[in-house]
Amino acid sequence: MINLLILPILIPLITATILMFFSKQVKTQRTIAAVSTIGTVIASVILVITVSKEGIQTLNLGSWTAPFGITLVSDMLSALLVLTTSIITLLVVLYSFKSIGRDRERFYYYPVVQFLLVGVNGAFTTGDIFNLFVFFEVMLMSSYVLIVLGGTKVQLREGIKYILVNVISSALFVITVAYLYSVVGTLNMADISQKIASVGQPGILTAIAILFLIVFGLKGAIFPLYFWLPGSYYAPPTPILALFGALLTKVGVYSIIRTYTLFFYHDPGFTHEMLGILAILTIVVGCVGAIGFWDVKKIIIYNIVIAVGVILFGISTMNGEAMEGSIYYLIHDMLIKAALFLLIGVMISITGTTDVRKMGGLIKEYPWLGWTFLVAAFSLAGIPPLSGFIGKLLILKGSFSSEFYVGAFVILASSLIVLYSVIKIFLTGIWGVPKEYKGISKGHARYLWATSAVLVLLSVFYGLGADALRPLFSQAAEVLVDPQIYIDAVLKE
Amino acid sequence: MELLMAIVIGILFTCAVYLMLSKSLLRIIIGTAVLSHGAHLLILTVSSLKKGAPPLLGQHAESYVDPLPQALILTAIVISFGVTAFFLVLAYRAYQELGTDNMDQLRGNEGND
């Protein structure tokens, strides 16, 4: 089945189109959205299995051979990310049934979520730099709609800022692609890599590398380009926030990984050192924010920033082991961030406040919620045998063997701060003195908890089964360390 | 010719940045439009502006201009149209709801108290 790798893009696209016809029939919409997202998950599972058995899958659209047409490429990294994205979207869709509210559901909520899935899956799968831009725009356009859908004051205000930042970064993306095209004269990623290898990265390409870092750094929220994220992510309701926190920044991170391992690996002295320094600073600002706030949403939002820094530091070392760790940590972080956002969403809808000091004693009435949150918190901080541990361990091992001691130390210290910030929520909000709440009913809360608990469960299994999954990550890291594998797969004769 | 275009595009970028740093929301949106004009002209310019027939095979010319950047620009133009239309409607809606178009008054820090 040679068209397999387009299915995770095509299924949500067709679903979104169909869903637009039933905008007022909420029940029909829910059924179609859930069923088709399950279909997307199944297709991505098959994709991962196929890639692990037969190596990198490529698909030339319209039968034009590689550098001339658009090629879709699924290596292990993108297949795994597509699978994670589909699973998270499925659970967020299920969570939305009882959380997003009828008003939003009647105004094209499910179609827009499907379009977001199209954009994210497409961005992970494409092998063409301009096509990546187009999929970015598909994703961003859906996120613009999701961030303002409902039209409350804070959503409008933060929506304006979010759109402005992304319009600027998209224009920069177009400019950067134009520069790159003028130097190498091609848009196919494998072909670009080959052309850059043949000229050996002169100064102009280093400048383009930094421009790419700025563009994708704006999407992925690295220091000093993270400033838009805390405000914008605060505005939308929980399921949308979970989608954003788990998927959007990670697409920026993936693009940095792709460009820095496939294009600009010839002169790592400047570009990768810069990436490493920025990654460390990103961790530091994230930590400052995570300690500083008493608001549950804000604490988790700043934890996104920390994780982006950790992943990019692993990539910047250009060490095979650290890269494997980064890939592992990237997927762990997508799962656990979605889970945490959904869990604090349950807490917020029970208590009716986001301030952790106004919560307390949730463990009395909702013990299942409390213990799930504790597991998720430990997993986020990287306590063995949970899923955050192995990724960080590999990153640390890799950076110690490459003698990046400062970065390794910052990552270790940041784990403590991450743990402190989430345990703060647990001790004050979930432990503490019980209070009276008149939020949602218990059964309702139990449904919301169940969907988010599935994600926590998945991440627990992900941590326990790390050994079994190890070959997949080695396969993914192999392509990052040796881009020739990718080039050969795409430009095969 | 490329040098002249480069200078003009540079001026467009300068104007765009200046407009986007102002307080009024409409000026910011005009800035984004100017920015995308600059970006589109830049794609056209970087593929070198050498003389040639329009990329139509019916022209039977010896050389044609590069067709690829034109396709890229066409794509980028419709995308920026879509985004600008959404942005304008959002600005209108925000003006109705929030009663201001001054970015200074659109500040807020939720979760900061």
| Bridge partner list, A71 | A60
For residue A492, give the amino acid letter: K
List of chain B residues whose C-beta atoms are within 8 Å of the C-beta of residue A171: 32, 35-36, 38-39, 80
Contacts of B86 in chain A (CB under 8 A): 141, 144-145, 163
A16 neighbors A22 (Cβ within 8 angstroms) = no
Within a domain: residue B10?
yes
Range of the domain at B87: 1-50+65-100
In sequence order, what E strands does A158-229 have?
none
Quick one: which of A207, A209, A300 has its CA closest to A249?
Answer: A300
Residue B36, domain member (yes or no): yes
pLDDT over threshold 90, residue B103 = no
Q: What is the spatial distance between Cα A418 and Cα A441, in angstroms, rounded to a whole number?
A: 31
Q: And the tokens for A432?
A: 């503490």
* Predicted confidence (pLDDT) at residue B19 exceeds the cutoff of 70: yes
* Residue B62 CB neighbour total at 10 angstroms: 7
Looking at this protein, which amino acid is placed at residue A248?
Answer: L
The pair of three-digit structure tokens given for residue A269, joined into one six-digit string: 């002295």
Q: Do B90 and A354 touch (CB under 8 A)?
A: no
Determine whether the interchain pair B98/A153 forms a contact, defined as Cβ–Cβ distance below 8 Å: yes
Name the pTM for this structure.
0.95
Give the per-residue pLDDT at A18.
Answer: 95
Residue that is written with structure tokens 């917020």 in the block: A348
**How would residue B111 be classed by pLDDT, with cut points 50, 70 and 90?**
low
Does any domain span residue B113?
A: no
Measured in angstroms, the CA of A237 and the nearest CA of chain B are apart by 14
Dist. CA A12–CA A106, nearest whole Å: 19
Q: Which residues of A touch B69 (CB under 8 A)?
A: 178, 181
- Best of B20, B23, B26, B42 to substitute, by most chain A Cβ atoms within 10 angstroms, is B42
- On whether residue B59 sits in a domain, the answer given is no
Residue of B nearest to A167 (CA): B32
CATH of the domain at B96: 1.10.287
Measured N-to-C along each axis, helices A129-148 and A109-125 cross at an angle, to the nearest 10 degrees, of 160
Note down pLDDT in tens along chain A; length 493 residues.
Answer: 578 889 999 999 999 999 999 888 999 999 999 999 999 999 999 999 999 999 899 999 888 888 899 999 999 999 999 999 999 999 999 999 999 888 899 999 999 999 999 999 999 999 999 999 999 999 999 999 999 999 899 999 999 999 999 999 999 999 999 999 999 999 999 999 999 999 877 889 999 999 999 999 999 999 899 999 999 999 999 999 999 999 999 999 999 999 999 999 888 888 888 999 999 999 999 999 999 999 999 999 999 999 999 999 999 988 889 999 999 999 999 999 999 999 999 999 998 888 888 888 888 889 999 999 999 999 999 998 898 899 999 999 999 998 889 999 999 999 999 999 999 999 998 888 888 887 778 888 899 999 999 999 999 999 999 889 999 999 999 999 999 999 999 987 5
User: Considering only CA atoms, which of A181, A172, A127, A187 is closest in space to residue B43?
Assistant: A181
Q: What is the ipTM of this complex?
A: 0.95
State how many domains chain B has: 1
The answer to whether position B86 is within a domain reads yes
Q: CB pairs below 8 Å between A and B: how many?
A: 112
Q: Which chain A residues contact residue B28 at CB under 8 A?
A: 164
Sign of CA dihedral A84, A453, A96, A438: negative
Domain membership flag for residue B58: no
Q: What is the pLDDT of residue A17?
A: 96
CB count in 10 Å sphere of residue B54: 11
User: Under an 8 A CB cutoff, do A154 and B82 touch?
Assistant: no
CA distance A69 to chain B (A): 11
Mutation target for A interface from B79, B86, B97: give the one with most A CBs within 10 A.
B79
More confident residue, B106 or B69: B69
Angle at which helix A320-351 crosses helix A296-316, to 10 degrees, equals 170
Band of residue B112 on the pLDDT scale cut at 50, 70, 90: low
Nearest to B86 by CA among A160, A71, A461: A160
Has residue B18 been placed in a domain? yes
The answer to whether residue B46 sits within a structural domain is: yes
